[in-house]
């Protein structure tokens, strides 16, 4: 590099010095025919200027060099200058003189030419003098340009390589994401299949246990029956029946097992239950002529007057088959005892049901306590997940901003890129971990809620009425095709007349896609940028000013109205959330939104949110919508009272 620079500087020096040396040759020293001495001198001069001398006719160096050597060349070649200012060289045609009659005109033009020359001279005198660069400066500029080009080419090549690397990485990441998504879907499908298989297995086990109990009852195997009834893993009731409607007591009566019938009735079996063909256990004992079994049954409250599908009672059956012992037993039996025994049996059944209900209530309270605990844990997990997502979004935004050079850096991210990427990776890992934790909490909460609903269903079925918490939730059911008419157009003005904040329950995320592409102000609750105080303020003012909907999408995150959403909105203005919940119409009619307008926006009438721009014909159509992807049964009941609920339903095709 040093040798090249020295050579470049030497070239510039020679180029600048050559015209000066050629200019020292006088005009008289350049005749058309030179003497050998003069030619030798010229050759010496040319040689000193860096040219090779030739014998006889030396070649002048000036035409090869730049800068003011035209006159020297013309003198050396014997050229002359004509009167009109044009150069006349060797072999050039001389210019003709002007006619005499035009001398006056020429004189006038000559005068005009002098004035023009004087004006040009004055203008040239006023023009600033251009500073001539030295050879060293020109050499330095050339080196700088060459070095900058070299660095620019290297930087472009590096960036192209990095872009190609990023594109390849994006392809790899997308393929990996698609693979992971497919694996997740396959795992979810397998879990669902495992649940279905487990449920089928449990049902098969229950069916097998019922069949085994009925077979044991027909064979009189009391120990096996007790073992099946006391099994906690596979729950079988004493009055469970098979596909034909026959119970264990009916099978034991058909087999004629006295002790088995007594044991089953002691455990609460109903002696008057009607099975296949509406035949009671006493009817089957009569059909088999089992007198002792019939006696145990009738003493346990069996009624021989009950008939089968053919209107054949146990007494008529005994008479038709000529079973005198059974006929005598039935005719001598006091029906008053049967009625009393049936009443006692009803008391025992009611006592068993009361005990079952008490157990169900106890289980319900336990399940409710578990649900409350898991709701708190799920709520806390949702808050941590939201904070982690906000951190991830902020770090990605900072990275993108500095990557684009918008942060005022000359060379963005030269030193901090690895730090930014590491921070983004840590935030992604935190979000992934918290998502898994939130999912686990949600699954436990769903299972606890399912057990709670089952216990409530059992209690409601036993009471013959619905529990207050299991009653139909308020609100209207709307398919997606009718959502525009009900929610956006508000046909009939029901939403406007109601005035409350609208709660859209959308587990299928249909309304989410619909509202994103409608003319509304959409805020993502999990986005820190969307939920900034100024963003919420502008979104609410815009919805009121233009008569649009403000949509706050909380997705599937478990939130508390006051502690989470209320606190978030109260950062805009204290008590804003409760003011909106108390009634949107009242909030707009009293013009409480005026306090959200900043002083600089009120001062100028041309501002978008100047109070004069809020017209009643538009503000009356404004509404606030809370959009959730959770199931209605998973939401707190007070949500359906403080807000106007709309349930999205899936249309059956």
Residue 357: per-residue pLDDT? 76
Per CATH, the number for 354-470 is 1.10.287.1490
pLDDT in tens, 316-348: 888 888 998 988 888 888 888 888 888 887 887
How many angstroms separate the Cα of 79 from the Cα of each of 36, 45, 76, 92, 504?
21, 21, 8, 9, 100
Question: Domain locations in the chain?
Answer: 1-79, 213-333, 354-470, 476-649
Residue 49: per-residue pLDDT? 40
Residue 538: per-residue pLDDT? 92
Residue 102: per-residue pLDDT? 43
> Measured in whole angstroms, how far is the alpha carbon of residue 136 from the centre of its chain?
62
Q: Is the pLDDT of residue 157 over 90?
A: yes
Per CATH, the number for 476-649 is 3.40.50
Task: Name residue 626's beta-bridge partners.
Answer: 503, 552
Residue 650: per-residue pLDDT? 62
- Spatial separation of the C-alpha atoms in residues 284 and 255, rounded to whole Å: 9
pLDDT in tens, 89-133: 444 444 554 444 444 444 444 556 677 777 777 766 665 666 788
Query: How do the residues of the chain divide into helix, strand and coil, expressed in percent and rounded to 5?
Result: 65, 5, 30
Cβ atoms of 302 and 281 within 8 Å: the answer is yes
Backbone φ, ψ for residue 145 (5° rounding): -60, -45
How many angstroms separate the Cα of 93 from the Cα of each of 76, 82, 100?
19, 11, 21
pLDDT in tens, 249-274: 999 999 899 999 999 988 888 888 88
pLDDT in tens, 411-465: 455 566 778 788 888 889 998 898 888 888 877 887 777 777 667 766 666 555 4
Summarize the confidence of residues 598-605 as an average pLDDT: 85
Residue 89: per-residue pLDDT? 44
Q: Is the pLDDT of residue 52 over 60?
A: no
pLDDT in tens, 25-39: 343 334 444 444 433
Structural domain 213-333, CATH architecture = Alpha Horseshoe (1.25)
- Spatial separation of the C-alpha atoms in residues 457 and 524, rounded to whole Å: 36
- Give the range among 165-169, 374-378, 493-497, 593-597 with minimum mean pLDDT: 493-497
Higher-confidence residue of 35 and 637: namely 637
Residue 6: per-residue pLDDT? 55
- Give the range among 6-10, 46-50, 388-392 with minimum mean pLDDT: 46-50
Q: Is the pLDDT of residue 23 over 60?
A: no
How many angstroms separate the Cα of 433 from the Cα of each of 175, 556, 630?
22, 17, 21
Dmax (CA) for the chain in angstroms is: 176
Q: Is the pLDDT of residue 617 over 70?
A: yes
- Spatial separation of the C-alpha atoms in residues 421 and 433, rounded to whole Å: 18
β-strands 87-88, 80-81 pairing: antiparallel
Which residues make Cβ contacts (< 8 Å) with residue 106, sequence separation at least 6?
Answer: 98
How many angstroms separate the Cα of 474 from the Cα of each of 249, 544, 638?
46, 27, 11
pLDDT in tens, 537-568: 999 999 998 888 899 998 888 888 888 888 88
Q: Is the pLDDT of residue 466 over 70?
A: no
Choose among 522, 487, 529: nearest CA to 504: 487
Residue 156: per-residue pLDDT? 93
pLDDT in tens, 507-538: 888 788 888 878 889 998 888 888 888 999 99
Summarize the confidence of residues 365-372 as an average pLDDT: 83
Residue 539: per-residue pLDDT? 92
Residue 462: per-residue pLDDT? 57
Residue 446: per-residue pLDDT? 74
Torsion sign over Cα 564, 569, 574, 578:
negative
Task: Name residue 553's beta-bridge partners.
Answer: 524, 627
Higher-confidence residue of 87 and 647: namely 647
Task: Name residue 647's beta-bridge partners.
Answer: 477, 505
Mean pLDDT (the chain) is 76
Residue 92: per-residue pLDDT? 45
Place of tokens 């037993």: 329
Cβ atoms of 229 and 255 within 8 Å: the answer is no
Residue 457: per-residue pLDDT? 65
Which residues make Cβ contacts (< 8 Å) with residue 365, sequence separation at least 6?
Answer: none
Place of tokens 């089957």: 284
- Spatial separation of the C-alpha atoms in residues 268 and 235, rounded to whole Å: 16
Q: Is the pLDDT of residue 195 over 90?
A: no
């Amino acid at each position: 590099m040093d040798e090249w620079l020295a050579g470049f500087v030497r070239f510039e020096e020679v180029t600048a010095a050559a015209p000066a040396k050629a200019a020292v040759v006088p005009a008289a020293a350049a005749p058309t025919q030179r003497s050998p001495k003069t030619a030798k001198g010229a050759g010496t001069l040319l040689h000193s200027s860096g040219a090779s001398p030739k014998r006889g006719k030396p070649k002048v160096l000036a035409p090869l060099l730049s800068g003011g050597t035209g006159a020297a060349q013309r003198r050396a070649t014997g050229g002359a200058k004509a009167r009109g200012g044009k150069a006349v060289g060797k072999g050039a045609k001389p210019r003709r003189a002007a006619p005499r009659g035009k001398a006056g005109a020429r004189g006038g033009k000559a005068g005009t030419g002098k004035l023009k020359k004087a004006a040009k001279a004055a203008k040239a005198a006023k023009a600033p003098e251009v500073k001539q660069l030295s050879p060293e400066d020109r050499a330095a500029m050339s080196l700088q340009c060459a070095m900058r080009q070299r660095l620019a080419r290297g930087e472009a090549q590096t960036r192209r390589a990095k872009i190609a690397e990023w594109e390849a990485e994006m392809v790899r990441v997308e393929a990996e994401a698609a693979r992971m998504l497919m694996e997740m879907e396959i795992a979810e499908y397998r879990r669902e299949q495992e649940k279905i298989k487990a449920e089928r297995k449990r049902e098969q086990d229950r069916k097998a246990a019922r069949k085994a109990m009925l077979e044991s009852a027909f064979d009189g195997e009391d120990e096996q029956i007790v073992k099946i009834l006391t099994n906690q893993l596979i729950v079988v009731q004493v009055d469970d029946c098979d596909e034909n409607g026959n119970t264990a007591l009916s099978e034991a009566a058909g087999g004629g097992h006295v002790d088995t019938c007594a044991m089953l009735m002691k455990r609460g079996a109903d002696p008057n239950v009607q099975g296949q063909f509406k035949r009671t256990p006493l009817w089957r004992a009569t059909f088999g002529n089992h007198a002792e079994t019939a006696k145990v049954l009738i003493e346990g409250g069996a009624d021989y007057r009950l008939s089968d599908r053919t209107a054949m009672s146990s007494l008529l059956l005994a008479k038709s088959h000529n079973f005198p012992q059974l006929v005598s037993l039935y005719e001598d039996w006091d029906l008053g005892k049967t009625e009393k025994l049936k009443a006692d049996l009803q008391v025992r059944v009611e006592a068993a049901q009361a005990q079952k209900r008490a157990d169900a209530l106890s289980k319900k309270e336990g399940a409710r306590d578990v649900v409350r605990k898991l709701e708190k844990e799920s709520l806390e997990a949702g808050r941590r997940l939201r904070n982690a997502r906000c951190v991830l979004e902020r770090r990605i935004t900072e990275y993108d901003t500095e990557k684009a050079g918008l942060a005022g850096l000359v060379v963005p991210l030269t030193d901090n890129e690895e730090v930014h990427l590491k921070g983004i990776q840590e935030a992604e890992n935190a979000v992934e971990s918290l998502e898994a934790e939130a999912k686990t909490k949600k699954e436990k909460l769903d299972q606890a809620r399912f057990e709670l609903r089952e216990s409530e269903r059992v209690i409601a079925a036993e009471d013959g009425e619905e529990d207050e918490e299991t009653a139909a939730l308020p609100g209207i059911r709307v398919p997606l095709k009718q959502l525009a008419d009900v929610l956006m157009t508000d046909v009939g003005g029901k939403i406007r007349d109601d005035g409350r904040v609208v709660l859209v329950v959308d587990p299928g995320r249909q309304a989410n896609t619909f509202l994103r592409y409608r003319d509304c102000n959409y805020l993502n609750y999990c986005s820190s940028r969307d939920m900034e105080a100024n963003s919420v303020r502008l979104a609410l003012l815009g919805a009121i000013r233009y008569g649009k909907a403000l949509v706050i999408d909380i997705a599937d995150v478990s939130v508390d109205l006051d502690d989470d959403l209320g606190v978030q909105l109260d950062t805009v203005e204290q008590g804003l959330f409760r003011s909106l919940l108390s009634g949107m119409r009242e909030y707009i009619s009293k013009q409480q939104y005026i306090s959200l307008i900043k002083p600089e926006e009120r001062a100028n009438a041309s501002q978008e949110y100047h109070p004069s721009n809020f017209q009643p014909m538009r503000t009356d159509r404004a509404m606030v919508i809370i959009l959730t992807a959770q199931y209605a049964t998973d939401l707190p009941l007070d949500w359906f009272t403080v807000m106007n609920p709309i349930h999205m339903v899936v249309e059956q095709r």
